[in-house]
Amino acid sequence: MSRYRIAVHIVPRRGILDPQGKTVADALHTLGFGSVRDVHVGRHIVVNLEARDQKAAEQSTRDMCERLLANPVTEDFEIASVEAT
Amino acid sequence: MKFGIVTFPGSNCDYDAYQAVVEKLGEDATFLWHKDHDLQESDVIVLPGGFSYGDYLRAGAIARFSPVMQDVIGFAKRGGPVLAICNGFQIACEAGLLPGALLRNTSLKFVCETVRLRVETTDTMFTNRYERGAVLRIPIAHGDGRYTADDATLDKLEGEGRVVFRYLGGPGDADEWWSPNGSMRSIAGIVNDAGNVLGMMPHPERAVDPLLGSEDGLGIFESMLARVTA
């Protein structure tokens, strides 16, 4: 078994009202960052785990996202990085 | 009739529900500990308000996997009545007992106030003692109450008469749909397709006595009593 450090990004599904993202975007506009089109605020979760190989580690993390870490009704997730540790 | 009220770590409306059942309805109630697999032969399950597991990850996301919830899910699938209030509504959605999800209020603020609710259907085991179109005064207290679902789900809920309560009017007295939290189509409460699980963000257990400012919530408990003991 090897150890992995996997980071997951969870963001509101496109099309779902994201008042936090909109508030941050408005604040960025106020600061003069006029080029900002939109902002989405989500969660960044880091999981340290043991797995047979990288593929198994990623599959396990995807299962975690589908069952608990993300809400399939309102959120999308993506594996942001995988590191062997 | 016996109400089983689930206590999760962080529940804070379990005693309010207990008082409503025992003192105002005059029925039995018992607390069900989240770690037990024992519903103590309850006739009705109440998932109370609060902040189970500190709302960590998402409101209701962790509570949904607690031991007692596996029994509550089985009870609900067999047709047992479940009243899911506030955090209970969030837990019921996370558990898949009800469609949709409850997201952060559009205002990003916790809202704590008495709102007006319109009874959209009396054809449920939770609202048979009200009149259709009746306007109730019941408090809300939540930060994550924005009911969200896709259009197909919302159309289905409306088409099947499963939207039970809607928020009415705003700070004034205008009789129009309103939403204190950004809920889609002003939805405050829904039932599942079998009609035995009610999820609602407002707190009927906090509106059962004139001393509390309203007793409009008692009808939900009376409706359940009328149906379950019929």
What was the pLDDT predicted at B178?
85
Judged by CB atoms closer than 8 Å, whether chains meet at B108 and A71 is answered as no
**Which residue from B78, B2, B1, B72 is spatially nearest to B38, judged by alpha carbons?**
B72
**Which residue from B52, B30, B49, B33 is spatially nearest to B41, judged by alpha carbons?**
B30
Count A/B contacts: CB-CB distance under 8 Å.
35
**How close does chain A come to B225, measured CA to CA in Å?**
33
Residue A29 has a CB neighbour count (10 Å cut-off) of: 13
**How close does chain A come to B104, measured CA to CA in Å?**
8
Sheet holding A43-51, edge to edge: A43-51, A2-12, A75-84
Which one of B101, B107, B108 has the shortest CB-CB distance to A71?
Answer: B101
Q: Cα–Cα distance between B152 and B150 in angstroms, integer?
A: 6
Those residues whose C-beta lies under 8 Å from the C-beta of residue A10, and which sit 6 or more positions away, are A42, A43, A44, A45, A65, A69, A70, A75, A76, A77
Q: Where are the domains of chain B?
A: 2-228
What was the pLDDT predicted at B177?
79
What was the pLDDT predicted at B174?
58
What was the pLDDT predicted at A32?
97
- Residues A47-72 have pLDDT tens digits of 999 999 999 999 999 999 999 999 99
pLDDT in tens, chain B (230 residues): 999 999 999 999 999 999 999 999 999 999 999 999 999 999 999 999 999 999 999 999 999 999 999 999 999 999 999 999 999 999 999 999 999 999 999 999 999 999 999 999 999 999 999 999 999 999 999 999 999 999 999 999 999 999 999 999 765 555 677 899 999 999 999 999 999 999 999 999 999 999 999 999 999 999 999 988 87
Residue B126 has a CB neighbour count (10 Å cut-off) of: 28
What was the pLDDT predicted at B189?
98
For residue A64, CA distances in Å to A58, A61, B73 come to: 10, 5, 21
Q: Give chain A's domains with CATH numbers.
A: 2-84 (3.30.1280.10)
Q: Cα–Cα distance between B141 and B203 in angstroms, integer?
A: 8
Q: Cα–Cα distance between B45 and B76 in angstroms, integer?
A: 9
Q: Tell me what the mean pLDDT of segment A36-53 comes to.
A: 96
- Residues A5-29 have pLDDT tens digits of 999 999 999 889 999 999 999 999 9
What was the pLDDT predicted at B92?
98
What was the pLDDT predicted at B176?
73
Say whether B205 is catalytic: yes
Judged by CB atoms closer than 8 Å, whether chains meet at B148 and A19 is answered as no
Pick the residue of A64, A66, A68 with the most B CBs within 10 A to test the interface with B by mutation: A68
Chain B residues within 8 A of A71 when measuring between CB atoms: 58, 61, 94, 101
Torsion of CA B144, B149, B155, B161, to 10 degrees: -40
Q: Cα–Cα distance between B87 and B63 in angstroms, integer?
A: 10
What was the pLDDT predicted at B172?
58
Q: Cα–Cα distance between B79 and A62 in angstroms, integer?
A: 33
Q: Does A27 touch chain B (CB under 8 A)?
A: no
Catalytic residue, from B27, B93, B120, B203: name it: B203
| Burial tier of A52 (Cβ tally within 10 Å: 0-12, 13-18, 19+) | exposed
What was the pLDDT predicted at B7?
98
List the beta bridge partners of residue A11.
Answer: A76
Instruction: Indicate the CATH number of B2-228 among 3.30.750.24, 3.40.50.880, 3.40.50.2000, 3.30.465.10.
Output: 3.40.50.880
For residue A41, CA distances in Å to A76, B66, B104, B147, B213 come to: 12, 28, 12, 19, 38
> CA end-to-end span of chain B, whole Å?
11
Cβ–Cβ under 8 Å, residues B117 and B126:
no
What was the pLDDT predicted at B175?
64
E runs forming strands in B23-128:
28-33, 44-47, 82-85, 101-103, 111-119
Q: Is the pTM value of this prediction over 0.80? A: yes
